[in-house]
Structure 1
Amino acid sequence: MTDTTYVDRLRAGAPGKPIFFVFHGTGGDENQFFDFASRLLPEATIISPRGDVSEYGAARFFKRTGEGVYDMTDLARATDKMAGYVKRLAEEHKSTDILGLGFSNGANILANMLIEHGDLFDASVLMHPLIPFQPVDNAELAGRRVLITAGERDPIAPMPMTKGLADYFARQGADVKVEWHAGGHDLRQSEIEAVGNFFAIHA
């Protein structure tokens, strides 16, 4: 049987409300965005898993061999495991919409779930994602809502690659929006406000 378990933090929400998965960045943990998610959607079920890969003690969701160089075999493993985890918990909690938010490495595992399992998430926020390969087309992304937030001077997730990912989602028929700020790989207030506006219809 495939392992779909993680160390996680969970808060059960009200019946008939969305389930909201949040994914931390490298070196973060299940607490990084938990309270933020709880404030965004106070009635939703909130679930925050901790990455099951350690990079010199820093938690991640999949392995890499260098900055921006992914272990594609481990990315495939991690994506399938996480998709199974999301499906299992969404069924257990009898949730309506399935929502996701990830930052940096967390955005990357979420983005790859969208690429490989296009019908899994109804709405997703990718904060400073980096997908350094050409994703395969997935018609199941049509109509899915995606918000990408990014820094114009981000050295880890360069602007051309962010634009390329947004263009990919647009070609699949997703409803994609991009929120830019003038900084780098840091979170700004404008991003926080954009995320709040994006999820307002699910509150």
Structure 2
Amino acid sequence: MSQDAYIHKLLPGEPGSPLVFALHGTGGDENQLVGFARELVPGATVVSPRGDVSEMGAARFFRRTGEGVYDMDDLARATAKMAGFVEAHVAEAKPSQVFALGYSNGANILASVLFAAPDRFDAVALMHPLIPFKPDVAGSLAGRRVLITAGRRDPICPPELTGRLDAYLRDAGADVRLEWHEGGHEVRPNEIEAAKRIFASKEQGQ
């Protein structure tokens, strides 16, 4: 898969720095999370792709037929494409660590890549993911740090599905941290601090 499989933004980092993939939510683009990713991992190289599916003009990474109802065939297509895109950039950059963060739809495609290719990332932050299906994890997630963030009153991502995703990942061996806030689908400061911690701890080998 080509490094140019997606329209994307690349923010070069320091030599030998971590590589961070930043995946936007529905309606975002390749610029949405670049600054945020650099804030989370200072000095890192950041790669941020734009979703290749349009939903009434809003960019997404895979199709859906309704709120929380995914086109599973298209999700499979998108997962393979994103896994290849990640692999191509990792091969080029040869980073010290590979991290990824995704918000909403970006978190969903990131989770799907994590299920399909557990060895692609050292640590990931899934911010307000919605996984309404039981994943088939292709291997072990042992040694992978995963942060899930969620709002207890999120109208898009029911708390029970967040808890179920947490259980799936733990069963696959991941080191999971779950960070809640009392609001909805918005990102709040405690989530940001949790993401900084999970990337910093992995980077330092703690």
Q: Shorter chain as normaliser: what TM range?
A: over 0.9
- The equivalences for 1:134-173 within 5 A come to 134-173=134-173
For residues 96 and 196 of structure 1, the distance between their equivalents in structure 2, rounded to whole angstroms, comes to 17
Q: Which residue of 2 aligns with 1:95?
A: 95
Answer yes or no: is the 8 Å Cα contact 1:40–1:196 preserved in 2.
yes
Q: How many residues align?
A: 203
- Deviates most, 131-140 or 151-160: 131-140
Under a length normalisation based on structure 2, what TM-score does the superposition of the two structures give?
Answer: 0.94
Q: Which runs of 5+ in 1 are unaligned?
A: none
Identity of aligned residues (%): 59
Q: Which runs of 5+ in 2 are unaligned?
A: none
Q: Tell me the amino acid that sits aligned with residue 83 of structure 2.
A: A
Offset at residue 11 of structure 1 (A): 1.2
> For residues 113-161 of structure 1, what are the alpha-carbon distances to aligned partners after superposition, in whole Å with 9 as ceiling and x for unaligned?
0111111111000000011101114433112100000001111110000
Offset at residue 3 of structure 1 (A): 8.8
For residues 199 and 122 of structure 1, the distance between their equivalents in structure 2, rounded to whole angstroms, comes to 9
Offset at residue 33 of structure 1 (A): 0.8
> For residues 154-202 of structure 1, what are the alpha-carbon distances to aligned partners after superposition, in whole Å with 9 as ceiling and x for unaligned?
1111000000000011001110000000011111111111111222233
For residues 88 and 19 of structure 1, the distance between their equivalents in structure 2, rounded to whole angstroms, comes to 12
- The equivalences for 1:9-158 within 5 A come to 9-158=9-158
Q: Tell me the amino acid that sits aligned with residue 173 of structure 1.
A: G
Offset at residue 42 of structure 1 (A): 2.1
Under a length normalisation based on structure 1, what TM-score does the superposition of the two structures give?
Answer: 0.96
For residues 4 and 168 of structure 2, the distance between their equivalents in structure 1, rounded to whole angstroms, comes to 28
Q: Which consecutive aligned stretches of 4+ in structure 1 deviate over 4 angstroms post-superposition? A: 1-4
Aligned-residue Cα RMSD (Å) equals 1.5
**CA 1:34/1:3 → structure 2, altered by over 3 Å: closer, same or farther?**
closer
Offset at residue 4 of structure 1 (A): 5.8
